[in-house]
Amino acid sequence: MDALVSRFFRVDDPQTHDFVYPIPDTFWSRFYEYEWTKAFTDPNDTCLDAASGVVHPLQFYLADHCKSVYACDLDPRVGSRPAIEAMMRDWKIDMFVNQDRYFSNVQRTVCSLTNLPYADAFFDKVYCISTLEHLRDRFNRYPVLQRLTRYLRPFLRSDIFDTLAEFKRVLKTDGMIILTFDYPRINLAYLTRIVDELCLVFCGPVDFQLPPNAVTGSARNLNCFRAVLRKRA
């Protein structure tokens, strides 16, 4: 199953420009990321859209395709239906205002990814789209520090590590963590190191080679890497 391969998105990968609602052109990688997430949805899933944003569409897509959906974000508006509907109007996606299922079918919480308010082994899937690389993590930003991780972690922010530890905690034994990252904002060597340290593994083959036809965000010369993780057996 190609969806299980952790690798860079390529321009010949499937894409969608209409995912619950038309995706803005500025969401350069989302056309590919959202289409890819479709491969993992299951009607029996209890799943989490971590760092969901207020009106980003993945939470709504999951609400239409999964049994039980949770969404969390630091933005306080995520916990307010009036605020969500107001932003929908601002984004000109007000056709979803008054769609009760997008509120009753999604349990939203304002929280930090490093301190999730969910029980252990609760989710079948945890989704986190192009977020972890933006967290405060000195070891991701300054690779030279990685040689001293053992000694410095108690004193320096390592939010990517702490977030993946939380994702592992709330994940069922046979569950999956579905991630994407802007590259080179994510240090892939660091990602590999903490995956191993947390006793996680990639679900399928891994290819860290940047292909010539990689999807690229022209404004910032970024690429997008995807990864699928599970707990080590």
Residue 40: CATH number of its domain: 3.40.50.150
Mean pLDDT, rounded, of the chain: 92
Looking at the chain, the whole-number percentage of residues with pLDDT higher than 70 is 91
Mean pLDDT in residue range 62-84: 94
Mean pLDDT in residue range 111-117: 97
Q: Is residue 150 over pLDDT 80?
A: no
Q: What is the pLDDT of residue 92?
A: 79
Q: What is the pLDDT of residue 25?
A: 85
Q: Is residue 102 over pLDDT 80?
A: yes
Better-scored residue on pLDDT, 4 or 86: 4
Least confident interval from 5-9, 10-14, 52-56, 85-89: 85-89
Q: What is the pLDDT of residue 147?
A: 66
pLDDT category of residue 141 using cuts at 50, 70 and 90: confident
Q: What is the pLDDT of residue 10?
A: 97
The pTM (predicted TM-score) of the whole model is: 0.94
DSSP the chain: -GGG-BEE-BTTS---SEESEEPPTT-TTHHHHHHHHGGG--TT-EEEEET--SS-THHHHHHHHSSEEEEEESSGGGG-HHHHHHHHHHTT-GGGTT-THHHHTEEEEE--TTS--S-TT-EEEEEEES-GGGS-BHHHH-GGGGGGHHHHTTTS-BHHHHHHHHHHHHEEEEEEEEEEEEETTS-HHHHHHHHHHTTEEESS-B-----TTB-EETTTTEEEEEEEEEE--
Looking at the chain, the whole-number percentage of residues with pLDDT higher than 90 is 73
Q: What is the pLDDT of residue 124?
A: 98
Q: What is the pLDDT of residues 164-189, one digit of tens each?
A: 999 999 999 999 999 999 999 999 99
Q: What is the pLDDT of residue 154?
A: 65
Q: Is residue 151 over pLDDT 60?
A: no
pLDDT category of residue 100 using cuts at 50, 70 and 90: confident
Q: What is the pLDDT of residues 14-47, one digit of tens each?
A: 999 999 888 888 889 999 999 999 999 999 999 9
Q: Domains in the chain: how many in total?
A: 1
For 138, 161, 164, 173, the CA distances from 199, given in Å and listed in that order, are 21, 12, 11, 12
Domain span at residue 81 reads 2-231
